[in-house]
Amino acid sequence: MAELLKKIKGNTYYIKGPVNTGLYVYDQNRCVVVDTGSSDDWGRKIYKALKAEGLEAEMIINTHSHADHFGGNNLLVKRTNAEVAASGIEAAIISNPYLEPLYLYSAHPPKALQNRFLMGKECRVDRIVEPGNFTIGQTTLEIVDLKGHSPGHIGVATPDGVLMAGDAYFSTHIVEKYKLTYFINIADTLDTLNRLKDTDYCYYLPCHGDLSSDIGEEIHSNLKAINETMGMIRWELIKPLTREELGAAITEKYNLDLNTTQYYLNQSSLAAYLSYMTDEGMLKRRIEGRRMVWEAV
Ligand SMILES: [Zn+2]
């Protein structure tokens, strides 16, 4: 295989990039592409890599609907006629990308948020997938429920025992660099991370980070970071704070730079922590002085 395609095992390959793309080859020269990067450029890169090897993309599976995972869909679909598959809620966003800045902002988003990081190019989804077997040609892949980072996040396990894990977890160096990594549902994230810990795939390919045969350390780093954030939230909420005030305190503690996009991603992630911790009885919420405040119990 050409340099661009790196072999993982058997018929499973990947293209390394800012967002790793997974590939599974079946029936000689057909392939399934898992996630397509952030742009037409990345789609073009995937297309060239496939063409160089005489491979035909039959199916694109998107692990989730963040703009950096389906940005190459349109170009690939146009050039290869591949079908696109995603889970139901992620398919709704891939085919209506406005929903991402809409949910982050909770109303019609200002133009600054309708940017290429938060709003991909609309793409039709042909097949809605659910966890379980996914048959294409003579091959059966396994769709794995990896909810948490996004509401309908899935992974794709190939017959070679490789799990393409999307953004279900992040490599340790990424967790250490960004500290407040994005999760939209903490209960689902904890469930997914704990389930992943007990799996024994030969290889794991996250979209952001490195291919690994053992993700014990990565899972530990992700869980540790979540627990640290929860500890920090409890500590800050010894006094009642609004989400805005809490966000300022946490990002200052983590020494994070903020731009408009990052601000709304952080606020969304913090909202996920506030829901989880309130539902688990760690925090309580009330309206005080016409502000919504949270406080540790
Ligand atoms: Zn993502």
Strand (E) positions, 146-274? 154-157, 162-166, 203-206
What is the distance in A from the centroid of ligand 1 to the CA of 174? 13
Please tell me the CATH superfamily of domain 6-226, with its number: Ribonuclease Z/Hydroxyacylglutathione hydrolase-like (3.60.15.10)
Give me the mean pLDDT over the 269-288 stretch: 98
Could you give the residue range(s) of every CATH 3.60.15.10 domain in the chain? 6-226
* Ligand 1 centroid to residue 203 C-alpha, Å: 20
Q: DSSP 3-state assignment of 283?
A: strand
Helix, strand, coil abundance in the chain, percent, nearest 5: 40, 25, 40
What's the rounded mean pLDDT across residues 249-261?
Answer: 93
Query: H or E stretch including 49?
Result: helix 40-52
pLDDT at 41 over 50: yes
Between CA 265 and CA 248 the distance in angstroms is: 13
153 C-alpha to center of ligand 1: Å? 9
Local structure of residue 164 (DSSP, 8 states): E
Longest CA pairwise span in the chain (Å): 67
Q: Separation of 54 CA from ligand 1 center, angstroms? A: 30
pLDDT at 2 over 60: no
**pLDDT higher than threshold 50 for residue 82:** yes
User: Ligand 1: distance of its center to the CA of 66 in Å?
Assistant: 5
In the chain, which residues fall in CATH 1.10.10.10? 236-296
Whether residue 225 contacts residue 273, with contact meaning beta carbons closer than 8 Å, is answered with: no
DSSP-derived pairing of the beta strands 162-166 and 203-206? parallel
Q: How far is the CA of 105 from the centre of ligand 1 (A)?
A: 17
Determine the distance separating the centroid of ligand 1 and the alpha carbon of 149, expressed in angstroms. Answer: 7
The architecture of the domain spanning 236-296 is: Orthogonal Bundle (1.10)
Q: How far is the CA of 138 from the centre of ligand 1 (A)?
A: 30
- Residue 138 pLDDT more than 90? no
